Amino acid sequence: MRTAKDDAERKALSDVKTHGLHIVHVMEDTGNPAFSYTVGLFENYLHPEIIIIGLKHELSHVLLNNMAYDIKNGKNYTSKEFHEGVLDDFVCYFGEVPTSDYQNYVGWANWFYEGYDFPLVQCVYPTVKGKFPWDVDFPEDARFFCKMLIKSPKEH
């Protein structure tokens, strides 16, 4: 059983118990864009945790909370599928993140689940022109922010 050793861990456990999830934000550094992810969706709803890479933390926070609300009401953001209703009028693609990326990206989830025994999906969003990172004409200046931990869908 997880036991909190400090205020940050107590806050994470309290959020998961009270709100069904805790959201973690990681700042951009020289090699990686900022990203945000959930902790607790799998524990409470048997839904994969979700990571969003490259958006501002404020927007990611709103999107993750909105998705959590939908999940609480029965929605499932299934892997290897496009889903509507995440980001305004755009579809987003969800893909399964390999456990080999867990250590570098979702440390709080690893702590919470005491290892890597939980599913994680990445929510990949398009540009305002509807282009995804796997599209040939995806803008080069946006690549850094749309880092993909997942495989692109087969139809692209």
pLDDT of residue 107: 96
Asked if residue 26 lies in contact with residue 35, where contact means CB atoms within 8 angstroms, the answer is yes
Where do the structural domains in the chain lie, given as residue ranges? Answer: 7-146
pLDDT for the residue numbered 83:
96
DSSP assigned state of 45: H
Identify the residue whose tokens are 């440390």: 107
pLDDT of residue 155: 54
Separation of alpha carbons 77 and 39, rounded Å: 15
Q: What is the pLDDT of residue 156?
A: 40
Tens place of pLDDT for every residue, the chain, 156 residues? Answer: 588 899 999 999 999 999 999 999 999 998 899 999 999 999 999 999 999 999 999 999 999 999 999 999 999 999 999 999 999 889 999 999 999 999 999 999 999 999 999 999 999 999 999 999 999 999 999 999 999 999 999 754
CA dihedral 15, 146, 96, 41 (to 10 degrees): 10
pLDDT at 88: 86
For 36, phi and psi rounded to 5 degrees?
A: -140, 150
Pairing label, strands 35-39, 22-26: antiparallel
Cα-flanking dihedrals φ and ψ of residue 131, to 5°?
-95, 135
Is residue 141 classed as helix, strand or coil in its secondary structure? helix
How far apart CA 121 and CA 67 sit, in angstroms, is 12
In this structure, are residues 51 and 118 in contact, taking their beta carbons and an 8 Å threshold?
Answer: no
